[in-house]
Amino acid sequence: MSVLPFDQRDGHIWFNGKLVPWADAKLHVLNHGLHYASCVFEGVRVYGGEIFKSIDHTERLFNSARLLDFEIPYTVAEIEDACRQLIKAQKIVDGYIRPLAWRGPEMMGVSAQSSKIQVAIATWQWPSYFDPAERLKGIRLDIADWHRPDPRTAPCKSKAAGLYMICTLSKHAAEKKGYADALMLDWRGQVAEATGANVFFVKDGDLHTPTPDCFLDGITRRTVIDLAKARGLKIIERVIMPEEMEGFEQCFITGTAAEVTPVSEVGPYKFVVGDITKSLMEDYMTAVRPKSSGQVQAAE
Question: Residue 1: pLDDT above 60?
Answer: no
Q: Does one domain contain both 57 and 91?
A: yes
To which H or E segment does residue 285 belong?
helix 275-288
Do 166 and 197 lie in one domain? The reply is: yes
pLDDT over 90 at 212, yes or no: yes
pLDDT the model gives residue 295: 40
What average pLDDT does the segment 205-212 reach?
Answer: 98
Whether residue 1 is contained in a domain is answered as: no
Indicate whether 211 and 272 sit together in one domain: yes
For residue 2, the model assigns a pLDDT of 59
Inside any domain, residue 269: yes
253 lies in a domain? Answer: yes
Mean of all residue pLDDT scores within the chain? 94
Domain that holds residue 68: 6-125
- Active site amino acids: 159
Task: Spell out the residues 6+ positions from residue 220 whose beta carbon is closer than 8 angstroms to its own.
Answer: 197, 198, 254, 255, 256, 258, 259, 260, 284
CA pair distance 226, 245, nearest whole angstrom: 23
Domain count, the chain: 2
* Mean pLDDT calculated for residue range 204-231: 98
Of 125, 152, 184, the one marking the end of a domain is: 125
- The percentage of the chain sitting over the pLDDT mark of 70, rounded to a whole number, equals 94
What pLDDT was estimated at residue 292?
52
- Listed in sequence order, the residues at least 6 apart from 50 whose beta carbon sits closer than 8 Å to its beta carbon are 290, 294, 295, 296
Please tell me the distance from the alpha carbon of residue 100 to that of residue 161, in angstroms, as a whole number: 9
